[in-house]
Structure 1
Amino acid sequence: MSVYDVLQTIIPTAIFFAAPLIFTALGGVFSERSGVVNIGLEGLMTIGAFVGIVFNLTFADRLGAWTPWLALVAAVIVGAVFSLLHAVASVTFRADQVVSGVAINFLALGLSLFLVKKMYGKGQTDQIQVGFDKMDVPVLSDIPIIGPLLFSNAYVPSYIAIALAFVSWYVIYKTPFGLRLRAVGEHPMAADTMGINVAKMRYIAVMISGALGGLGGAVYATIISRDFSHATISGQGFMALAAMIFGKWHPVGAMGAALFFGLAQSLSIVGQTIPLLKNVPTVYLLIAPYVLTILALAGFIGRAEAPKAAGTPYIKGKR
């Protein structure tokens, strides 16, 4: 097997596994840039995965090929609404944001499993029959060398995730909304003095994180697992949180870290077909991204500094 053959096996799979992490990590970037720590990304992915699969199973007969797309829309809406629980607790009632996020994780898993049991009479849903198909990007897939690596045998949501990272960068760093978002995350009192509604901005940011977290969960469930159970989302939300920190709270950096984690996950799946990795135990490949993240956060790959007001409730008029 040549090096090019190895890359042709690994890279499309890496992009495939990275897409849900990119969506969810971007959601974390929006929330934490506003000053609200969102440990609840795992729960938001869980509720998105549940909604995406249940919507698909319920409406596939009537909606046909539109089903997976509309399932993603439903997951976005429900994720945004569900994240309001975190926003109310963290912004309005000034609760500890880490505790609130952990509560979101437990609530999402417990509620979704309870509803699955009630709706299907068992611990998991049926397999979906209508999903996304792999495709080759017209024209781009015909580019020599690069085309088969990056633009062949992939899913549309994967490319949407990568494009969204650059859109998020533009929104956060090049628009008035992004300037206000960063202001309330760095110095909310100064932002308030300039007439920016800190609570409103933080509510919007948390809801965006909920929408993108729900989208990430739905993409994972619809493309990768194709059903929903207690093990569908098992650490992906925390991996997305790590990608956000690894990417230093920057949309493009978070995307790069998510792609790295996707690469590590893909190696655990296709590693047995690669001569150099054939004898490496799969468990080592699975833990590699977490070990490297710990090293990164320990300072081996530069300092990772969160927005200054992240995790601190804002009380109007109080220094």
Structure 2
Amino acid sequence: MDLMQILELIIPAAIFSAAPLIFTALGGVFSERSGVVNIGLEGLMLMGAFTGAVFTVFGEQWGFGAASPWFSFIVAIIVGALFSLLHAVASISFRADQVVSGVALNFLAAGLAVFLVKKIFDAGQTPIIAERIDKSNVPFLSDIPIIGPLFFSHAYYTSYIAIALAFVVWYVIYKTPFGLRLRSVGEHPMAADTMGINVIKMRYIAVMLSGAFAGLGGAVYATSISGSFSHSTITGQGFMALAAMIFGKWHPLGALGAALFFGLAQSLSITGQQIPLLKDIPEVYLLIAPYVLTILALAGLVGRADAPKAIGQPYEKGKGR
């Protein structure tokens, strides 16, 4: 197997694996840029995976056919945004500890999703999804020598949507009045309030956007990678997305790059047995590689991360920063 064949295995798998992490990390950027820590990305992603799997199955029964996953994405976005309101109310309105609120959201999502699956399907997991997001070649682009086979062959459109959204989110946060207001309430909420910006409203919007993106990320994971939902479908991917956001220094394009890096690590566990240099490595080492790299990245490679100055600080009008 030559280098080109190895790259044709690894790179498409890396982009494919990174898509759910990209969506969820972008959601985390919105929330934390507004000053609200969102440890609950794991739970929001889990609820998105549950919703994506359930409504894809329902869509198949209702005759939606190949559109079933895309229908489930819309529902997952709505469910994720609504579920994130629990974190928003606790951390913004009640000024509870944001880390504790996020952890509680994770536990609630895990228990609620498994309970609902058992009630709906009388089983420990959803039926296997028939209409999954499939691989396809991008017309014309897949015919480009060298680049085409690496980046545009056997591709998932959800991966390209995720990458494109990273640039859209960058533009929204750094080039629009909405983004300026969002960043101002995360840096100095009292100054923003003085300028007439509704800090509470902006933070609610940001947390709900994080829920919407994480819900979409979970749904994409369920419909493209796992193919069903059970208690073990989302096992740390939300935390990896959170790590990608921090590794990317709270910047949409940085989060994109970090998510692709973690996606590369995940792809090795998928393709490792087909690569000569990796096939002799025990599979368990390839499976834990993404999590080890996540820890190493955060522990020693992040460097000076410029987090929003008011992150994690509840805001009460007329008091504090």
Same fold (TM over 0.5): yes
* 1:257 aligned partner: 258
Deviation of 1:299 after TM superposition, in Å, equals 4.3
* 2:193 aligned partner: 192
* 2:315 aligned partner: 314
Number of residue equivalences:
319
Deviation of 1:65 after TM superposition, in Å, equals 2.0
| Equivalent pair of 1:53/1:228 in contact (CA under 8 Å) | yes
How far apart, in 2, do the equivalents of 1:121 and 1:286 lie?
31
Q: Could you tell me which runs of 5 or more consecutive residues in structure 1 were left unpaired when the two chains were aligned.
A: none
Alignment of 1:153-232 (within 5 A): 153-232=154-233
How far apart, in 2, do the equivalents of 1:308 and 1:87 lie?
19
How far apart, in 1, do the equivalents of 2:29 and 2:287 lie?
25
Q: Could you tell me which runs of 5 or more consecutive residues in structure 2 were left unpaired when the two chains were aligned.
A: none
1:258-306 Cα distance to aligned partner (Å, 9 max, x none): 1111111110111111111122223333333333333333344421232
* 2:37 aligned partner: 37
Q: Report the 3-state secondary structure (helix = DSSP H, G, I; strand = E; otherwise coil) of the residue aligned with 2:220.
A: helix
**Structure 1's 114 and 173: CA in aligned 2 closer, same or farther, altered over 3 A?**
same
| Equivalent pair of 1:296/1:302 in contact (CA under 8 Å) | no
Q: Percent identity?
A: 76
| Equivalent pair of 1:297/1:303 in contact (CA under 8 Å) | no
User: TM-score, normalized by length of structure 1?
Assistant: 0.97
* 1:103 aligned partner: 104
Letter matched to residue 266 of structure 1: S
| Equivalent pair of 1:297/1:304 in contact (CA under 8 Å) | no
* 1:137 aligned partner: 138
1:196-219 Cα distance to aligned partner (Å, 9 max, x none): 000000000000000000000000
* Residue range with higher mean Cα deviation, 102-111 or 302-311: 302-311
Q: Report the 3-state secondary structure (helix = DSSP H, G, I; strand = E; otherwise coil) of the residue aligned with 1:83.
A: helix
* 1:271 aligned partner: 272
Letter matched to residue 264 of structure 2: L
How far apart, in 1, do the equivalents of 2:294 and 2:126 lie?
33
How far apart, in 1, do the equivalents of 2:102 and 2:154 lie?
36
RMSD of aligned residue pairs (Cα, Å): 1.1
Letter matched to residue 275 of structure 2: I
How far apart, in 1, do the equivalents of 2:268 and 2:299 lie?
25
Letter matched to residue 307 of structure 2: A
Letter matched to residue 2 of structure 2: S
Letter matched to residue 290 of structure 2: P
Q: Report the 3-state secondary structure (helix = DSSP H, G, I; strand = E; otherwise coil) of the residue aligned with 2:64.
A: helix
* 2:4 aligned partner: 4
How far apart, in 1, do the equivalents of 2:270 and 2:163 lie?
22
How far apart, in 2, do the equivalents of 1:182 and 1:175 lie?
11
User: TM-score, normalized by length of structure 2?
Assistant: 0.97
| Equivalent pair of 2:265/2:293 in contact (CA under 8 Å) | no
How far apart, in 1, do the equivalents of 2:285 and 2:126 lie?
31
* 2:88 aligned partner: 87
How far apart, in 2, do the equivalents of 1:246 and 1:293 lie?
9
Q: Report the 3-state secondary structure (helix = DSSP H, G, I; strand = E; otherwise coil) of the residue aligned with 2:263.
A: helix
| Equivalent pair of 1:76/1:211 in contact (CA under 8 Å) | yes
Q: Report the 3-state secondary structure (helix = DSSP H, G, I; strand = E; otherwise coil) of the residue aligned with 2:277.
A: helix
Letter matched to residue 233 of structure 1: I
* 2:20 aligned partner: 20
| Equivalent pair of 1:248/1:304 in contact (CA under 8 Å) | yes
1:123-175 Cα distance to aligned partner (Å, 9 max, x none): 11110111222111111111110001001101111100000001000000111
